[in-house]
Amino acid sequence: MIAIIDYNAGNITSVARALQNIGQDFVVTDNTKKLDAASHVIFPGVGAAGEAMAYLREKKLDVWLKSYFKTGKPLLGICLGTQIILDYSEENETCCIGLIAGSTKRFPEKLTSEGEFLKIPQMGWNNIKLLRSHPVFENVLPDAEFYFVHSYYPAPADDEAILGITEYGITFCSVLAKNNLVAMQFHPEKSGRPGLQILKNFCAWRLS
């Protein structure tokens, strides 16, 4: 069973619709017993790190996520659900979950590309460069573009955790991967066929 963690974080409905689109059964819940029964867990989210972490702590979902990660079962982070799996976020100066060592940083002010100022947040389509292969990105073309909406980005302490990078004034980590965890700054559920392929791959991902 696929479970989507419900923590009042915005894009849960669009993730659910994407799973319906690929014919995948799922449950949306903040009940840890129901989450325990899941074979795969999706941790989505849009919004502010401080507010999200307050809700997660109230429901003890931060502790549950640490426990789930240790089980070795597949875990997918999306957008805010990627940023707050690190130790700390510059947004609201928030202590986060700490599944991966590192911090979430804000884009620099006066971000430029080819002499032109870039808008913050980055909002729109961009590509990623995978640094190695991964089952969740199988059958996704190298030139595929994905939908981003963010002012912050993950910066893991260990480069080995970086699976994909993206250019937006700077080169930043857009995809993290460690063991049974893969997490992306972009929104696969809003990224058309390539995004749906990622979700389909995740739901089929089995670790030995």
> Nearest Cα to 85, choosing from 188, 178, 160?
178
Active-site hit among 91, 150, 173, 187: 187
Q: Name, in order, each residue with C-beta under 8 angstroms of 150's C-beta and a sequence gap of 6 or more.
A: 79, 83, 121, 122, 185
CB distance 59 to 37 below 8 Å: no
Residue 189 annotated to the active site: yes
Q: Which of 91, 173, 189, 203 is catalytic?
A: 189
Catalytic residue of the set 79, 96, 173, 203 = 79
Active-site residue, 51 included: no
Task: Give residue 181's identity as a one-letter amino acid code.
Answer: L
Q: Can you read off the two tokens belonging to residue 24?
A: 């995948």
| Active site annotation includes 40 | no
Q: Checking phi first, is residue 142 left (phi over 0); if not, alpha (psi -120 to 50) or beta?
A: alpha
Write out the catalytic residue numbers: 79, 187, 189
